[in-house]
Amino acid sequence: MSQPTDTTVVRRTFITQHLQGNILLDGIPNEDAWNSVTWSGNFTQWQPNEGKAPHQPTEFKILYDEKYLYIAYHCIDQYPDSIIRWMDRRDQFPGDWVEINIDSYHDHRTAFSFTLSVSGVRGDEFVSNNGNNWDANWNPIWFSKTHIDETGWTAEVKIPFSQLRYGNEVDKTWGIQVTRRIFRKEERSCWQYIPQNSGVWVSRFGELKGLKNIPMHRQVEIAPYVTFQADKYKKEPGNPFATGFDSKLTGGVDGKYAVTNDLILDFTVNPDFGQVEADPSQVRIDGFQNFFEERRPFFIESRNIFDYQLTGSEAGGDYDSDLLFYSRRIGSSPHLTPETNDSEYLKMPQYTSILGAAKFSGKTRKGWSIGVLESITQREMATIDNNGEKRKELVEPLTSYFVGRLQKDINSGQTIFGGIITAVNRDGGLNDLLHRQAYSGGLDFYHTWKNRIWYVRGNMVFSQVQGTKDAILNTQTAFEHLFQRTDARVLSVDSSRTALTGTGGTFRFGKVGGKGAGKHGRLFKFETGFTLRSPELELNDIGFMLTANEINHFTWAGFHWPKSFLFFRSARLNYNHWSRWDYSGRFLNQAFNFNSHAYFKNNWQAGTGGTTVVYDVSNNALRGTTAIRNPGTVSHNIYVNTDFRKKLYAYLALYNVWGFGHTMRNNNVELTLYFQPMNSLRLSLAGSYTYYWRRQDQFVDNVDYNNTSRAIVSEVKQHTLRFTGRLTYNITPDLTLQYYGQPYLNRPTYDHFAYVINPMAKNYNDRFQPFKEGTLKLVGDEYLVDEQKDGVVDYTFDKPDFNFVQFRSNFVMRWEYKRGSELYLVWSQSNTPDADADLENNVRVPKSLFNNAFGHDDARNIFLVKWTYRFLK
């Protein structure tokens, strides 16, 4: 088979027919009804040998009736004993599989993906951004069966039209793509050939025609649930809130209602996410907040519409984590923890309860994408007991969260304009701590040309927060802003302000594909742009922002060889550079990077890269006294991934950073082993160790001395050890047992204390003044400083050392006993003991981790049963 070129690819068509007769969904398409359409085949290999014929042919048929779309597959294989039948939980893609993507909107940008493995495991994803985003959290209801015979394997799939979105035209045309994976060769072949150098996916689909007079199916789903939870933990004598056992019975309801066939209202009342896997343990000592992925089903479905990254660059950077809407803010831990004395006991809500939430989302036939989300969280109170007398204290006010998103596709998605607005309103209480109102919004655009190979995109955003003088003062002096810095050129604290208004934006220009050059189809891709955060921009009431007051420039360029050559299946070489300024014009950072990645014909993967930071200044590191110049660094990383087709394979990664002049070091090693001893059982064990050292400039505290604020710094040695174990056992494709466990230790120790005297000095040692001998004394957990050596304590600061140990695990049995209806049995365990004594006793890191993480006396065990039943119309 000759290799088609980008200019000669013909858009294929499959003409379906209305179902005449009955189909028994048994995985064997032998009913007479299937004979009304012919098999369509002639697939083209996409990987590893693009454009060539696949090793094994594939055929499919499509029929429909008033309620369902029916698909039959025949995955021919002359070696049926070699078909890989691995199983895994839903939305994992083990072994051999076949997949159909359906662009039922026919907008050339989005699609619904349905993947079926030969073992019967289902995967489903919502595809957006022309194939650049695949969201596996979309979980529609559909039906399937597979069968293996002497010719290979066959499958039958039945997809309710209610799970798709489409217009009301009588004669419909949808985009479709069918893909097959042969696992033993890691080969993927497609019905509609799409050259990899095109840089697109959905816009090049083939077409499904013949769909006529399909009724409008307004999806109506109601899913009530009941949860019983029992907590077992260590009893605390005298503490009325820690009796050793708690239990509760709760209930709620989730639902969907199709206002039109393409616009859906989702709602939840008193949601419970007790079956959701716990967040990984994470501790940072640099002052920045942690980012955790959203795991709750209500918020992750349809999130592509609400997603609004401020940057999203190809070069990557800390700024890429900034979001206008970060759903983890809804239902997070309360903002306030009351102070108590030694005779008092505290009962705190762990999370803010979500009373209810609703979202209205979808896309119209005319190209309008609409998303509206509203959520109300409960007013939370802490209870404090003092010798039997109880009082309540507000820790979180009643709060409303709102997000509205609108986008318009023009010219089949080649041009897109959009906007977003968010609002947070609190009913009062904690006025000196929290904003009463917080608003943000943005406008965005995306334009492509030359077959969507070239693009320009960007956005502009704004924010306004309102509150009391104390609340706004807290924002001005918070880590993200630090208006109080004495060397800030355009910033100053104004304690009379009751509002802050900020702006930001991003502009990106790049090339994602093109005609291959030379025999191996080498592609050149690039992107360049800049992203802004004004000093007053504040997004953290409903979004996520690491820091304001930055102007970042980035450039990424790379060569990509997508086709097989020599001993490579594919290869990439990339170059990046970054520059940063603040709004005063101060130059903050310059860095350069080169990296390479190779995918070999033996299915091993490897990569390596290096980065040098030639200049770096941080406005945040000293937490508000001044900016400080950090040492330049050079870093290197390398990783190797062995052949994942084997029952045992491994991933190994090394990462090292060295500071110029022996000023810092960061060494990390990570090893993960994957084991598939049988088709139904999958195990993995990951371990990582990080050693982080800074010679003198690790921030400790800010203190007042002689009417000025002084930054205390020190040497730090930080050890981080983490293990993560996972197990998945499939009794059937719809009945799985899953286990997740993670022991974690983070231990920073501080020594050789000093204070900052000249933070921008070119010479590293000139930036600090070490404490003179005899001026520093440790008493308990506090350092006393007598700089004058006159016996009078000038100031104090807390001993910063700690030894944080945590173990989190959960064991889940999930049974989808009816499509969309589930039963969960969950056992989760959390243990965060006080392990600081190991510092004093010089207990080594591994021993400290295992001595403390698995101490069952301190563990909290949660047993949960959750039952849901989904009513469908």
Residue 763 parent element (H or E): none
**Which residues lie below 8 Å from residue 217, measured CB to CB, with a gap of 6+?**
67, 160, 161, 162, 258, 261
Within 10 Å of residue 730's Cβ, how many Cβ atoms? 25
pLDDT of residue 216: 78
**Which residues lie below 8 Å from residue 792, measured CB to CB, with a gap of 6+?**
786
What are the φ/ψ torsions at residue 92 (nearest 5 degrees)? -95, 155
- DSSP label at 198? G
SS3 649: strand
User: For residue 695, which of 720, 719, 711, 714 has the smallest C-alpha distance?
Assistant: 714
Beta strand pairing call for 58-64 and 17-18: parallel
Q: What CA–CA distance (Å, rounded) separates 516 from 453?
A: 12
> How many angstroms separate the Cα of 379 from the Cα of each of 202, 347, 382?
45, 15, 10
User: For residue 364, which of 104, 105, 103, 173 has the smallest C-alpha distance?
Assistant: 105
- Specify the amino acid at residue 293: E
Q: What CA–CA distance (Å, rounded) separates 287 from 517?
A: 47
> How many angstroms separate the Cα of 351 from the Cα of each of 183, 379, 545?
43, 11, 21
User: For residue 553, which of 199, 836, 313 has the smallest C-alpha distance?
Assistant: 313
pLDDT of residue 185: 93
Q: Which domains does the chain have, with CATH numbers?
A: 13-212 (2.60.40.1190)
Within 10 Å of residue 156's Cβ, how many Cβ atoms? 25
User: For residue 434, which of 515, 352, 491, 366 has the smallest C-alpha distance?
Assistant: 352
Q: What CA–CA distance (Å, rounded) separates 708 from 838?
A: 36
- Specify the amino acid at residue 663: T
User: For residue 745, which of 850, 613, 632, 590 has the smallest C-alpha distance?
Assistant: 850
Residue 231 · residue 245 · CB < 8 Å: yes
Residue 122 · residue 144 · CB < 8 Å: yes
Q: Among all chains, which residue has been given the structure tokens 């299915």?
A: 603
pLDDT of residue 7: 52
Q: What CA–CA distance (Å, rounded) separates 311 from 317?
A: 9
Dihedral sign computed on CA atoms, order 124, 129, 133, 135: negative
User: For residue 588, which of 632, 546, 544 has the smallest C-alpha distance?
Assistant: 632
pLDDT means per 10 residues in the chain (873 residues)? 57 96 95 96 92 95 96 97 92 91 92 96 91 86 95 97 86 96 95 88 95 84 94 92 94 89 88 84 93 88 86 95 96 94 92 94 85 96 93 96 95 92 94 96 95 94 97 97 93 96 97 64 89 98 97 96 89 97 97 97 96 97 96 97 96 98 97 96 97 97 93 97 96 94 97 97 96 94 93 95 95 93 94 92 93 83 94 80
> How many angstroms separate the Cα of 871 from the Cα of each of 123, 177, 358, 426, 642?
22, 31, 18, 35, 45
Q: What CA–CA distance (Å, rounded) separates 713 from 718?
A: 15
- DSSP label at 184? G
Residue 621 · residue 630 · CB < 8 Å: yes
Furthest C-alpha separation in the chain: 101
* DSSP per-residue codes, 561-618: E-S-BTTEEEEEEEEEEEEEE-TT--EEEEEEEEEEEEEETTS-EEEEEEEEEEEEEE
Within 10 Å of residue 852's Cβ, how many Cβ atoms? 24
Q: What CA–CA distance (Å, rounded) separates 828 from 861?
A: 6
User: For residue 427, which of 396, 397, 472 has the smallest C-alpha distance?
Assistant: 397
Q: What CA–CA distance (Å, rounded) separates 469 from 435?
A: 10
What are the φ/ψ torsions at residue 327 (nearest 5 degrees)? -65, -15
> How many angstroms separate the Cα of 87 from the Cα of each of 29, 91, 98, 678?
23, 11, 14, 9
Residue 260 · residue 218 · CB < 8 Å: yes
- Residue 449 pairs in a beta bridge with 454
What are the φ/ψ torsions at residue 637 (nearest 5 degrees)? -135, 155
**Sheet order of strands, 17-18 included:** 17-18, 58-64, 68-76, 152-160, 143-149
* DSSP per-residue codes, 73-124: EEEE-S-GGG------STT---SSEEEEEEESS--SS-EEEEEEETTS-EEE
